[in-house]
Amino acid sequence: MNEHIAHSGVWSLTVIMIVVASWILYRYMAPKTWREWAGAGLVQAFIIALYAEMYGFPLTIYLLVRFFHLDRANLNANLWSTLLGMGETGMLISMLIGYALLFLGIGLFIQGWRELYRARQQNRLALDGLYGLVRHPQYTGLFVGLFGEGVVHWPTLFSVVLFPLIVSIYTLLAYREERQMLSQFGEQYRVYRARVPMFLPGQHRWRQFVDGARIGR
C-alpha cells in the first residue's frame, strides 16, 4: 500500500500523547497489587496501540485495505471517515463526541481519586461527592475516557478488542476491592453498597454525576 493516508506519520506527536496519557494513568491509578498492575498494563497497551495508529502508522486501515479491498482512493487514518465515506466531516464529528467523553472520563477519574485520597487520609469511607453516586467513579471515568478516545473518536482493531477486556478486568478488581471494604468497614459498607450503584448513577442523577466531574471544584 503506497497511498498516502491522511493524518498519519507524525511520530513525534505519537510519543508526546503516549507519555502524557501514561503519566495521567499512573499518577492517579497508582497500582499496588499485581492485579492492579495487570489492569494498568492492559490500559498502557491500549494507549500505545491507539496513539501509534492515530498519529503514526494506521495499521487498522492497512489491514482493511489489504484484506477487504476498501476504496484506496479515499483513505483516512480515521476508521469512521474511511468506512462511512464522510471524509474530514466524519472525523470531525467523531472527534468532538470522542473528546467530550474523554474529558468527562478524565474529570471523573481525577476527581474520584481526590475524594478517595481525602477519605483515606481520614481513615474513613468515601461516601460523598462522586462516591455518593457510584461506588467506583475512578473506574467509570476510565471506561468513559477509553470508550470516547478508542472507540468513538479513533477506533482501531486493538482499541475495540482491548476495551471490553479492560472493563472486565477492572470490574473484577472492583469486586475484589469491595470484599476488602466489607472486611474493614463491615455493616457500614454493606449499607452503602446496597444504596449506591457500582459504575453508573441512577437514571435521574446523570446531570449531578457529570457536574461532579469538574476537576477544579
Model pLDDT for residues 97-114, shown as the tens digit of each residue: 999 999 999 999 999 999
Q: What is the DSSP letter of 31?
A: -
What's the pLDDT score for residue 101?
A: 96
Model pLDDT for residues 187-203, shown as the tens digit of each residue: 999 999 999 999 999 88
* CA 97/CA 77 separation, integer angstroms: 18
The single residue listed with the C-alpha cell 455518593 is: 132
User: 6 φ, ψ to 5°?
Assistant: -60, 150
Contacts of 11 (CB under 8 A, 6+ apart): 55, 56
Which of 67-81, 168-182, 203-217 is most confident?
A: 168-182
The single residue listed with the C-alpha cell 461532579 is: 212
More confident position, 90 or 22: 22
Mean pLDDT of 112-139: 92
For domain 11-211, give the fold. Answer: Four Helix Bundle (Hemerythrin (Met), subunit A) (1.20.120)
More confident position, 68 or 103: 103
Domain ranges of the chain: 11-211
What's the pLDDT score for residue 205?
A: 87
* CA 25/CA 7 separation, integer angstroms: 25
Contacts of 201 (CB under 8 A, 6+ apart): 133, 134, 208, 209
Model pLDDT for residues 141-163, shown as the tens digit of each residue: 999 999 999 999 988 888 989 99
What's the pLDDT score for residue 57?
A: 82
Residue 130, CA distances (Å) to 94, 105, 168, 178, 215 in order: 27, 13, 22, 17, 12
In this prediction, what percent of the chain has a pLDDT beyond 90?
Answer: 50
